[in-house]
Amino acid sequence: MSVKKDKDKFAKKIEIVNRQARYLYEIIEKYTAGIVLTGTEIKSLRMGKASIGEGYIFIDNGEVWLKNCHISEYTEGTYNNHEPKRLRKLLLQKKEILKLKQKLEQKGLTIIPLKIFFNERGYAKLEIALARGKKLHDKREDIKKKDTIRELKNKE
């Protein structure tokens, strides 16, 4: 009996996206960070059971942390299941962390999660962004741009 190796093991593209991020924030720089997860968290992510909309990122003692990100408990998990809103460590290079820390000292900047995805090797990654909050008039301009683009598409 032979075992067929599945080349498309990670072919199913799962992305958990923070849809409000681009509306509420002006994105300045993007980074890709690894996430330290437990076994049941990975299984829940592969099922797409997560929300990063209310999550945020902070730096403490030279380490980057993700807070308030909700990864649902794994349905087949036992007493080993994880806590849905626990702190999760992010993996970035030291240079990137120092650069982010310096830029955070500027007034009005924050770090937000944009999306969780799986890379080609099957590891969960988090795309984060250094961002500045938008003012109300900036949000209105974005809505007008989207409406005009939508109208142009409808005319074609």
**Domains in the chain: boundaries:** 15-155
Q: What is the DSSP string of the chain?
A: --PPP-TTTT-S--EEE-TTHHHHEEEEEEEEEEE---HHHHHHHHTT-EE-TT-EEEEETTEEEEES-EEPPPTT--TTPPPTT--EEEE--HHHHHHHHHHHTSTTEEEEEEEEEE-TTS-EEEEEEEEEEPPHHHHHHHHHHHHHHHHHHHH-
pLDDT (tens digit per residue) in 29-51: 999 999 998 888 888 888 888 88
pLDDT, residue 8, reads 52
pLDDT tens across 41-98, in order? 888 888 888 888 888 899 999 899 999 888 888 777 677 777 778 888 999 999 999 9
Hey, which CATH number is domain 15-155, 3.40.190.10, 3.40.50.1220, 3.10.129.10, 2.40.280.10?
2.40.280.10
Tens digits of per-residue pLDDT, 95-145?
A: 999 999 988 888 889 899 999 998 888 889 999 999 888 887 777 887 888
- pTM for this predicted structure: 0.76
